[in-house]
Amino acid sequence: MKTKYGFWNNLGYVLRGMKNWGDKLISLRIVGIIAETVSLFVIPVTVKLIIDSLTSGDPLSKTLLLIAINAAVMLVAYLAAGYVENNSPYKMKHALIRFKRELTETMTSMEYANLENPKVLDEHERIRNVMNVKTQSIEGMMDSSIKCGTLALQILMAGILISGLHPLLIVILLFLLILSFIVVDKTKLKDKELVWDALGPYWRKHFNLGFLTNHFTSAKEIRVYNMKDWIYGKYLGINDDINKKYRISRNLWFKSQAILMPLSLLEEISLYAFLIYELSRNNLTVAEFTLYIASVHIFITAVNSFIAEYTEIKKQSLEVRDFRSFIDSYKIPEKEKAELPPMEKHPDFEFQDVTFCYEGQEKNALEHVSLSIPYGQRLAIVGLNGAGKTTMIKLLSGFYKPTSGKITINGKGCETMEREDLFRYFSAVFQNVEEYPFTVEENVSMRRSEDTDEALVSECLERCGLMDKIEKLENGRKTQVLKVLEEDGVDFSGGEKQKLALARALYKDAPVLILDEPTSALDPLAEERLYRNFNDWIGDKTGIFISHRLSSTRFCQKVALFEDSHLVEYGSHDELMKKKGKYYDLYETQAELYRKEASANE
């Protein structure tokens, strides 16, 4: 259940972040608040004193002294304000980056299942978007809290100066100001509920479609298939949906302004009418009238600005609440670095009546699967798309937890193990191979260069048949991959990416090697070499294939055939062929297709 953080709790959270991560930012901003307030009031106060001095017949030297003091105070105030403005922005950004790091750490540490949950992704996209807007969420609350502090001090000073006015006038002003606050506050809350909270799914679609048009992986197909207008049409459709929400926001604020403007006009008319009336009856001197006029103007402006800023900071508080609740719900706290328990030398895995259903789905992705994977076994997991193959591997690897049933390692329930402990047992080559904007050797070791065993990197690249390619590059293993960070970065072909991923899996040297469609991007000769060397690469370790090419099963001791979420056949290749069941039918159908293709190419 998500924590419902209140306004003051959220304000304290933001101010603590500014204090802890802003390098004396709070102290600096307090100086700025005082300097700004002093510079605002010093002139009207000085003008009153000068008029009093002139009308009282004081010597000219006293008037000149007042002017000199005013100039000195203004100079100090301007210098202090300038110092604050020059030094605050980078401190604010430093604190904001630290807040954003919380969101990044949440996304990289949360349970993998949440990354495939559209509700979680929509929530993240909504939070990410408001975090990137200067006037919203944490950055907005940092800025608004400073503005509210400045305005509150201005209201206090102006209130002291005009405190001699008639009490009834003060009551009327407060009544009008409270009405203005209620109107703005209700509008802000309704605006967030109807507009900004509802925009999450649209922003996610907008971001993903924009990424698709800008990323080089999709650039070739977009051009070859002339998809520009089609994608642009979808983009416009999403923009239309977003603009509909914006129009709701605009209409809300138009209605609120229709109430606020008359209220603001009444405030000014009341104050100025009273001052003119008092001056006409000689109840005010010219000097007092001048000071009151300036103070009333400051008071009205500051109060109206404070109302707008306070209602804004309340809305920002709700956004901060969403941010904090998201982190509380999904971030897995980083524990103290403790030595992990020794790994099992010969891990045997077992599925015990495992059933799994994805969140939001009615049909189980896997049902009542019982299967043993002893250490050192070569297991092929085969079946048509959607049969449950990849789901089984996600469960085995610890990305998901079974809905029911149990997965064990040497008899110990995997659910009792820390994720980092369980992940150590697996090296994997997934179907969609990712390259990272690091060096080649870092893409193999998945560690910083200083923590990388260069000799082992070379060995793994050699075994996977990629070393010849790397040696031809100007910087060899030090070559940057992709052009994201460096202009001279290299991009590998599909087959080369697959080999890079294999080298990555071999470098980790885990007890279990998982290959998810490992040959899908390799040409036939490369596929043959990969299969021929596979047994040598993994030695006595466990090897698990997910494959649609049933020929790979010849290299495996056991085959698990999945169909419609069930494990329907299990045994060696020869055993299943003799059985002449579903595996036999699939194998023969695929073999016949390969024979026809070979005949056509002769």
So what's the pLDDT on residue 526? Answer: 57
Task: Round to whole Å and give the CA distance between 567 and 583.
Answer: 12
- Mean per-residue pLDDT for 577-602? 78
CATH class of 7-330: mainly alpha
Per-residue pLDDT of 412-426, as tens digits, reads 888 888 888 888 999
In this predicted model, which residue has the larger pLDDT, 511 or 163? 511
Task: Round to whole Å and give the CA distance between 302 and 177.
Answer: 11
So what's the pLDDT on residue 599? Answer: 60
Alpha carbon 412 to its chain centroid, in Å, reads: 35
So what's the pLDDT on residue 355? Answer: 95
Instruction: Provide the residue ranges of all domains of the chain, joining segments of one domain with +.
Output: 7-330, 349-434+506-601, 436-491
- Mean per-residue pLDDT for 575-584? 91
Asked if the model's pLDDT at residue 214 lies above 70, the reply is no
Per-residue pLDDT of 225-275, as tens digits, reads 677 777 778 878 888 888 888 888 888 888 888 888 888 788 777 777 777
Residue with tokens 């060696």: 572
Grade residue 501 by pLDDT with cuts at 50, 70 and 90.
confident
Asked if the model's pLDDT at residue 455 lies above 80, the reply is yes
Structure tokens at 437: 């904007």
Task: Round to whole Å and give the CA distance between 170 and 296.
Answer: 11
Percent of the chain with pLDDT over 90: 18
Q: What is the 3-state secondary structure (H, E, C) of 251-304?
A: HHHHHHHHHHHHHHHHHHHHHHHHHHHHHHCCCCCHHHHHHHHHHHHHHHHHHH
So what's the pLDDT on residue 224? Answer: 62
So what's the pLDDT on residue 1? Answer: 46
Q: Which residues make Cβ contacts (< 8 Å) with residue 321, sequence separation at least 6?
A: 4, 5, 10
Asked if the model's pLDDT at residue 389 lies above 60, the reply is yes
Q: Which residues make Cβ contacts (< 8 Å) with residue 51, sequence separation at least 6?
A: 286, 287, 290
Task: Round to whole Å and give the CA distance between 80 and 38.
Answer: 11
Per-residue pLDDT of 509-547, as tens digits, reads 899 998 887 665 554 445 556 666 766 778 889 988 887
- Mean of all residue pLDDT scores within the chain: 83
The DSSP H or E segment spanning 383 is strand 378-383
∠ CA 346-349-351 to the nearest 5 degrees?
Answer: 170
pTM, rounded to two decimals: 0.70
Per-residue pLDDT of 184-195, as tens digits, reads 788 888 888 888
| CATH 3.40.50.720 corresponds to the domain 349-434+506-601 | no
Burial class (CB in 10 A: 0-12, 13-18, 19+), 78: middle
Alpha carbon 437 to its chain centroid, in Å, reads: 19
Most confident range, picked from 120-134, 140-154, 245-259: 140-154
So what's the pLDDT on residue 415? Answer: 84
Task: Round to whole Å and give the CA distance between 560 and 383.
Answer: 8
- Mean per-residue pLDDT for 163-191? 77
Asked if the model's pLDDT at residue 204 lies above 80, the reply is no
Per-residue pLDDT of 42-79, as tens digits, reads 888 888 888 888 777 778 888 888 888 888 988 998 89
Pick from 96-110, 345-359, 474-488, 496-510: least confident: 474-488
So what's the pLDDT on residue 525? Answer: 47
Task: Round to whole Å and give the CA distance between 179 and 494.
Answer: 65
